[in-house]
Amino acid sequence: MKKLKLTTTTAGSYFTIVVGAFIYGAAVGLFLDPYAIAPGGITGIAIIINKLTGLSVGALAFILNIPLIIAAFLRLGRKIFTRTLVSLAISSAAMDIFLKLNGEAPVTDSKFLSSIAGGALMAFAVGIIFKAGGTTGGSDIAVKFLRKKYPHIKSGIIFLLIDGAISCLSGIIFKSLDYALYALCALFAAAKVLDFVLYGSDEAKLVFIFTEQGEKVADKIIVSLDAGLSFIHGNGGYTGQSREIIMCAIKKQKFNSLSQIVRAVDPKAFMIVCPASEIYGEGFKSNSKTELL
């Protein structure tokens, strides 16, 4: 039974990687390469060389990635190497296929829309491939290395830093600031989409409620919002009186309801609200395992 589960999971992962690789190829072939938008990474370098020499962007992307996929095999293991190789082969072929199908013409007359759509699609593809245990080569592998050393930094930020330099390089090589700016637009769109795909939209609020109606406020929050909370015991710095402070982590979409409950029960309540981008535990992200995404 355990072997069957492993086989099914592996097949599903490879299916996801294949789909993601085709989406990645479509992003480059339909939106980015026709306008010479170099969104960083090896793909961006391949697009730059393609425009200067006319060589196949897909073939260039594959060849330039060979040293990196060897490094992936040595540093990240056979599993990631195999899935990266599959992803890279399919995405490289898909780039050229979509370019030929579209006659190397852009699918939209707007260069700005192409940069946003291309960056977003590319990041979506990278995200689902990451979740399936692979990479698309290039910056993806570098991100895997850096996430091992700096797991507290989000993948989208690392991509933005690495690829931003290559995007700026495209503006220098093509002697036009526009090329760099459109490439950076693609990168910003990619960073946002990638973080959304990898980490979800479960940003939350951490709320500290100072009230003399602690029990009533807590009961109302628990019953109405099905939210957990904790009491913190403290003393007022000015009055010296002991009081209980309610600490509650709540999803962003429920915050307005919580605020209304507090105001209804105790209009004099004092609240401190802090952003909480990552919360692990029941009702939020699973903390049963750590993924280097």
Q: Confirm whether pTM is higher than 0.75.
A: no
Q: Supply the DSSP string of 220-254, one letter for each residue.
A: HHHHHH----EEEEEE-TTT--EEEEEEEEEEGGG
| C-alpha to C-alpha distances, 270 to 92, 241, 259, nearest whole angstrom | 57, 16, 11
Whose tokens are 């890279």? That residue is 88
Q: What pLDDT score was predicted for residue 97? A: 94
Q: What does the domain layout of the chain look like in residue ranges? A: 2-199, 204-276
Q: 204-276 has which fold?
A: Alpha-Beta Plaits (3.30.70)
Q: What pLDDT score was predicted for residue 6? A: 41
pLDDT digits (tens, 9 = 90+) for 89-135: 999 999 999 998 877 777 888 999 999 999 999 999 989 998 888 88
